[in-house]
């Protein structure tokens, strides 16, 4: 398994009383959601979370290799840091580095949400509404034909983004609750899908919508060979001088 370094026309809201749906322009929805994404990103202080990464390579559906890593994940001064606690369930050595993984995805926190729905990047996508779900707005999106400003680093090979995806927006908070993205211009790979599930975390005295899970699923040119990278986050809190990052001896 190759190591990978990467990284609405109308809004319909069903009324709670079962009456006719309320119509809202797509531009209004995108403006509000994108501003919320930007505001949250700009206001997010240094913070840390408990993280569990599970990386797995498969051949014909059978596990070929798997590695799990538990750590304290933090973002300080806009830079990602990890203090490794366990590797495959065993205590890690002090100052241990992330081990070699069957599938390794870098920058795997909320970058994809910002890259898709912040005001700076909206211009490079076409959006459309799909049938909604209870409490959620459902949107589909696709990178604009001919755009050349969005570039992916696919295992060291720069590729112009040609992607399709879907986003679920919490209709009360107008925040991204879930986002999926299918990368189509991916060189030697047959398929590459990213799924992020988000939820509100209290960081300091403010609420921020952050990932509770980040999943990448890839298929190589030989379709028998597939892999997954799953990062799960919990207990996110503000990073302060009173919080000490612990490591295992």
Domain boundaries, the chain: 20-238
Q: Are strands 206-220 and 163-170 parallel, antiparallel or unpaired?
A: unpaired
Instruction: Outline where 91-211 has alpha helix (H).
Output: 111-117
Closest CA to 159 of 144, 174, 149: 149
Decide: 112 and 180 in contact? Cβ < 8 Å.
no
Core vs surface per residue 40-56: b (16+ CB within 10 A) or e: beeebebbbbebbbbbb
Token pair belonging to 191: 């398929």
| Cα–Cα distance measured from residue 87 to residue 13, given in angstroms and rounded to the nearest whole number | 46
| Cα–Cα distance measured from residue 247 to residue 40, given in angstroms and rounded to the nearest whole number | 30
| Per-residue model confidence as pLDDT tens for the chain (249 residues) | 443 333 322 222 232 333 333 557 899 999 999 999 999 999 999 999 999 999 999 999 999 999 999 999 998 877 889 999 999 999 999 999 999 999 998 777 888 999 999 999 999 999 998 887 889 999 999 999 988 888 888 778 888 999 999 999 999 999 999 999 999 998 889 999 999 999 999 998 999 999 999 999 999 999 999 999 999 999 999 987 555 445 444
């Amino acid at each position: 398994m190759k190591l990978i370094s990467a990284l609405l026309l109308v809004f319909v809201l069903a009324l709670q009383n079962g009456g006719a749906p309320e119509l809202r322009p797509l531009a209004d929805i995108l403006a509000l959601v994108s501003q919320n994404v930007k505001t949250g990103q700009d206001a997010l202080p240094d913070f840390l979370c408990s993280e569990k990464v599970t990386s797995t390579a498969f051949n014909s559906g059978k596990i070929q290799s798997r590695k799990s890593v538990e750590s304290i994940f933090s973002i300080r001064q806009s830079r990602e840091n990890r203090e490794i606690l366990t590797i495959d369930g065993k205590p890690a050595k002090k100052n241990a580095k992330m081990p070699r993984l069957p599938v390794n995805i870098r920058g795997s926190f909320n970058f994809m949400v910002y890259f898709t729905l912040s005001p700076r990047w909206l211009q490079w996508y076409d959006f459309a509404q799909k049938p909604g779900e209870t409490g959620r707005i459902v949107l589909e999106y696709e990178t604009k034909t001919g755009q050349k400003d969005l570039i992916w680093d696919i295992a060291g090979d720069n590729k112009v983004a040609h992607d399709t995806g879907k986003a679920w927006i919490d209709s009360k908070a107008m925040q991204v609750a879930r986002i999926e993205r299918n990368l189509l211009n991916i060189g030697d790979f047959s398929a590459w899908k990213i799924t992020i599930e988000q939820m509100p975390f209290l960081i300091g005295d403010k609420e921020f919508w952050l990932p509770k899970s980040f999943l990448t699923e890839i298929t190589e040119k030989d379709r028998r060979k597939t892999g997954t990278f799953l990062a799960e986050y919990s207990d996110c809190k503000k990073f302060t001088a009173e919080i000490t990052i612990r490591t295992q001896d």
